[in-house]
Amino acid sequence: MSDLVKPAHKKELFGHPVGLYVLFFTEMWERFSYYGMRALLTLYMTAQTLENDPQSGLGWTKTEALALYGWYTMLVYLMSIPGGFIADRLIGQKKAVTIGAILLTAGHGVLAIDAIWAYYTGLGLVILGVGMLKPNISTMVGGLYKQNDIRRDKGFSIFYVGINLGSFTASLSVGLVAAIYGWHYGFGLAGIGMLLGLIVYLYGQRFLIHVGNEPTVEEKSSDVSLATLFSQLFKSPLQLGIVVVLLVLSLYAGFTFEGPDNWGYGILFIVLSLVTGLMMMIYKNLNGQVEKDRYVVLLLSLLMVLVFWGCFEQMGGLMNLYAEEKTNRMFMGWEVPAAWFQGANAGFIILFAVLVANFWAKRKLKGKEASSLFKMAVGVIIMGVGFVYMVFASLQYEANGSSAMYWLVLAYLFHTLGELCLSPVSLSFFTKLAPVRYMALMMGVYWAATGLGNKVAGIIGESSVKAGELKVFGGLFIFAVLFGLLVILLLKPLKRLTHGAEDKETVVQDDETEGFELADH
């Protein structure tokens, strides 16, 4: 069949389906909008309120700003769960991505309006938009290729380059526009980026007609029902008792927790109580000791994910404010915008992703320890070491009244190297251990753990107001390194509990996928 008569969705460009490049640019502009806005978020909230000044912010305290930042980043990830469920069970990934892109465009557009109602409304729309788009566009990339197509890995590599390019260019351009013209122009530029992404996606629909369509009746019936799992909870007195106690404590927290968002924490604890009950029922329904042992290791990997993001996400919160307030950003007579430092993460990913992936591949070929648990633990340790440079920055600030930019750059470098060791590996490891019939539910739990880690990051950032940055950065360094070392000490018994889940793996040369599978947390 010649190209003249070949269906649009079967046409290729540079050896890959044209649909891949449609999704590439859609995701690139989506990440441009998200990371561009994220770079400004805490800076805008803590900026002084000034009359008729484009640099006027909300004038919030650091505690208030970091608290909202934590809630916001947590909800972005938690909304991926209903977003994926709606696509899988109701409308398909293609329509879900369209809805998500429209919500994001509207959200960023509203954020460009200088009014407090617009700020909250815009953030809400962005949360809903990312929840609909984020979990579904990656699924569509996989759907472009047949099950055993050897091009699939390279396709994901290309796709993840788009994520990093969007993040990197956003931090530079949006940050510069906000510094020169004002916050809302920066928010507006992020919205223009998302609008371009929406236009690309709608224009390219003819190349995506065979992926992301509405699920069939058979596909809907194959999913595990949440209602079924929770109904079984009422038949298990011990598990039901544990959940009831947790729910009572959650309600108590809602009434007694000090602070303006006490019921926010109460609702969060209620959700965590229900998730605990769900996890217990899954464990009870597993078949055999092998599945149960692997499930235990899977829960530990979730804990590592939570710890990692709880520390790492200081980047967009506390460290972002530190760059603004306490870092000497003068370079050759020009002040570097604080938001530019947020681009360091994506830039380092582009530079070091393949090198890190090749390091682990060569280590595995030599027969040295390169299991997923080991990589994840090393990732936590490397990320923790990055906070040493923030300790040095804090000491320099106490001595001189400001600290050098290179401390932040070095911290971001180590955080990124740790990210490349943990994040692409953790998601892959999760799919190896999770019971197949509960895979969709467990992937939701994975994103929930990521979101909870983001909220923990906000809480830690809030503590710096009383404890000071030096104690917080030092504490994060000590805790992360000790936690990673503890996992390494327990490595042998933990690997036994996986029952050889990774023993038959081989290293494929010239495979770049793992290195790029991260920019997007």
CA 462 to chain centre: 20
Asked if 37 contacts 111 with a C-beta cutoff of 8 angstroms, the reply is yes
**In the numeric block, which tokens belong to residue 185?**
């122009």
Report if pTM > 0.85: no
3-state secondary structure of 91: helix
What is the per-residue DSSP string for 78-99? Answer: HTHHHHHHHIIIIIHHHHHHHH
Distance between CA atoms of 174 and 188, rounded to whole angstroms? 9
What local confidence, expressed as pLDDT, does residue 122 receive? Answer: 93
User: Where do the H-state alpha helices sit in 338-371?
Assistant: 343-365
Distance between CA atoms of 69 and 415, rounded to whole angstroms? 19
Distance between CA atoms of 519 and 30, rounded to whole angstroms? 13
What local confidence, expressed as pLDDT, does residue 260 receive? Answer: 63
Q: Name the DSSP letter for residue 216.
A: P
What is the per-residue DSSP string for 394-459? Answer: HHHHHHHSSB-HHHHHHHHHHHHHHHHHHHHHHHHHHHHHS-GGGHHHHHHHHHHHHHHHHHHHHH
What local confidence, expressed as pLDDT, does residue 217 receive? Answer: 67
Strand partners, 327: 403
Residues in the chain where the model's pLDDT stays below 70? 1-10, 13-14, 147-148, 150, 153, 157, 217-230, 257-263, 440, 503-521
Please, what CATH class does the domain formed by 289-521 belong to?
A: mainly alpha
Instruction: Say yes or no: domain 1-222 is CATH 1.20.1250.20.
Output: yes
Distance between CA atoms of 160 and 20, rounded to whole angstroms? 11
What local confidence, expressed as pLDDT, does residue 7 receive? Answer: 59
The amino acid sitting at 241 is: G
Strand partners, 16: 13
Asked if 137 contacts 27 with a C-beta cutoff of 8 angstroms, the reply is yes
CA 173 to chain centre: 22
Residue 261 CB neighbour total at 10 angstroms: 15
Distance between CA atoms of 435 and 155, rounded to whole angstroms? 27
3-state secondary structure of 295: helix
What local confidence, expressed as pLDDT, does residue 148 receive? Answer: 66
For CATH 1.20.1250.20, list the domain ranges present in the chain. 1-222, 289-521
Distance between CA atoms of 289 and 454, rounded to whole angstroms? 33
If you count them, how many residues does the chain have? Answer: 521
What local confidence, expressed as pLDDT, does residue 224 receive? Answer: 58
